[in-house]
Structures are given as structure tokens and as C-alpha cells.
Amino acid sequence: MFNKGRATLSDTELRGCSPKESHDGSVRAFCPFHGSDKQRSLKVSKGGSFYCFQCKAKGYMDWAYVDPFSFRVKAATKNIQKFKELLQKRELKEIQISDNFLKIHQYMDSDCYIGAICKKTVDYLEERNVSRDDIKKHDMRFSVEGKLSGRVIIPITMNHKAYGWVSRSVSNDPNIRKYLNLPGCPFSRLLFNVDKIPGSRIIICEGVFDAIAAGDDAVATFGKDVSKEQQEMILKFDERIVFFDYDARDTAIQLAKKINGKVAIIEEKNEDPSSLGNKRCREILHKAVSPFSPSLFLVGL
């Protein structure tokens, strides 16, 4: 809960929490208490109360109002700097992968009941251009019980330690949520596959399956937004290529400018690296250009 005092949260300060106005006049923002900058789970009401739907943090601003045009918020607090510094101070915590998450490579050729369930997961992965070598390399898993049943589960590791996981439904049912990830996982501080890159080149993709399709030197940022910590990890590599989905070309170009890298443009409408396959990904990556190149205008940008 905020302590009493007088302070003003400026537009610049508020931008760090990326606020957006909701239809009911409240504001949704990234939560600084558990360090998420992937989902706006913090709700600030017009009356001044706040609540995070993920970590359950709650409190009350003595007085706050929202300007719907500039998202200007004035709040009574003397600890507003702590609100911003929590993201920087939190530490990565290693997790233990549940024993209920079975290793796919251990069951994918089995004739038992569990093997039959595993086969559906393997069939889905092969449709997504994921090879058996990729399955073993990334220690992909599945579950036969609980809410993660019918999903492929991919641990997120760095330096041989697991810090989270992402899961993807293998069903085509539109009523089933595609992705379920570990709640509270600090994705903004992680890069999928970064510790397995063999050389000095790094390819930056949005999703895990995109990174797998792009090759051994590709990472996933878990979305279009790339945090400062992720950028710092990316800048350790000599050659940097941004390889985002078709609909994120503008975002890819801006990121490539920030990291002084190149951009690989997907010309196929509404496609992403994972849907194109390894061969087509290699062709596009071979044509990566500077984000300032005039040739970008030739592909409709």
C-alpha cells in the first residue's frame, strides 16, 4: 500500500508502466509488484484503489484521477520511486519443473497409454515444423492430467536453470485458450534459447516456435515488446537480426534501429516464422537488411 505524502506521477514516469484506459474509465497497467511487463494485470480505479489480478497486490491511492487523453495520474505517495524500482531489484528465482510434466522424447515411441497421448503432442509439433531433435534439445514436455493436459510444455531455461515455462494447446478447438504460461514468470528478464546459441549471431523472434523455426541461433522475447534487460542480453552478440511476424514489421524495424542490427522481413501476408518452416526462414534471413535500407519500401513498408 502506498504511504501518505504528496507527489505527481508524470506522463514520463507513467509510461514505464504502459497504462491504457479501459472502457469503464479505469486504467490498466503493468504491475511493478511482481514485475510483469507482458500483461497489464494492475487495475487502478477512478476512485484511487488498485488491484493486481495476478499477484493479488492491492492498496489505495489517497486520491487519483485519470485524464483519458493523456493518462495523467496524480497520486498521494512519497514512495513512488519504489514503485518503479521494484522491477530492477527483483531476482530471478529458479523453479522446479513438475514431475507431472513428462518428457516427450521418453514417450514419443512408446506403445503404452501415455505414449498414445504423447503422439498427439508429437503430431502437433511436427505440423509446427518442430523436429524430434528440437523436442529433445528444448526438453519439451506434456501432461496427462490437470489443466495442462493436452498441451505441449516448454521450459524456459538460462544457464541450465529453469525459470519458467510456456504451454501451447495442441487442440484446434477455438474455445480452448491457446497459451497458458507460468503465472508470475519474469519473461521480460528471459530470452528463450539464449544460452544455447553456438556463435556470435543472434536472431530475435517473438515466440518460442518462431525461434525454433529460425534456427539454433534464434531467441524468443515472448512478444513484440522487448525490455531493456532483454536488449542488454541481445547486445552481447556481434550480429543481430530482428525476425518478427508479418504484422509486426514496423515494430521489427524500430527494434533493429535500437540495437543497431538488421531486420528480416516476411513478405507472405499474415505469416510468421513458425508457419514458414526452416527452409523459407533461412532464405528470408539471408536477405536481412539494415533498418535504414531503401529496399524496405519495396515490400510495402
pLDDT tens-place string over residues 256-280? 999 999 999 998 988 999 999 899 9
**Cα dist. 295→16, 120, 298 in Å?**
34, 43, 5
CA–CA dist 32, 89 (Å, integer): 11
Q: What is the pLDDT of residue 93?
A: 83
pLDDT tens-place string over residues 175-216? 888 988 888 788 888 999 999 999 999 999 999 999 999 999
pLDDT tens-place string over residues 8-55? 333 334 445 677 777 777 778 877 666 666 788 878 776 656 777 887
Q: What is the pLDDT of residue 65?
A: 36
Cell of 3: 504511504
Among 233, 232, 211, residue whose Cα is nearest residue 220: 211
Please check the confidence at residue 243 and state whether its pLDDT lies above 60: yes
Query: How much is the pTM?
Result: 0.69
**Where do the domains of the chain lie, and which CATH numbers do they carry?**
7-89 (3.90.580), 91-185 (3.90.980.10), 192-301 (3.40.1360)
Q: Is 243 exposed, middle or buried (0-12, 13-18, 19+ CB in 10 A)?
A: buried
Give, in degrees to the nearest 5, the angle at Cα 35 between 29 and 38: 55
pLDDT tens-place string over residues 152-184? 999 999 888 999 999 999 988 888 889 888 887
pLDDT band at 62 (very low <50, low <70, confident <90, very high): very low
Q: Is 122 exposed, middle or buried (0-12, 13-18, 19+ CB in 10 A)?
A: buried
pLDDT tens-place string over residues 275-298? 998 999 999 999 999 988 877 765
CA–CA dist 220, 243 (Å, integer): 10
CA–CA dist 47, 266 (Å, integer): 46
Q: What is the pLDDT of residue 16?
A: 59
pLDDT tens-place string over residues 92-136? 788 889 888 999 999 988 888 888 889 999 999 998 889 999 999
Task: Select the more confidently predicted residue: 200 or 75.
Answer: 200
Residue whose C-alpha cell is 485519470: 66
pLDDT tens-place string over residues 216-232? 999 999 999 899 899 99
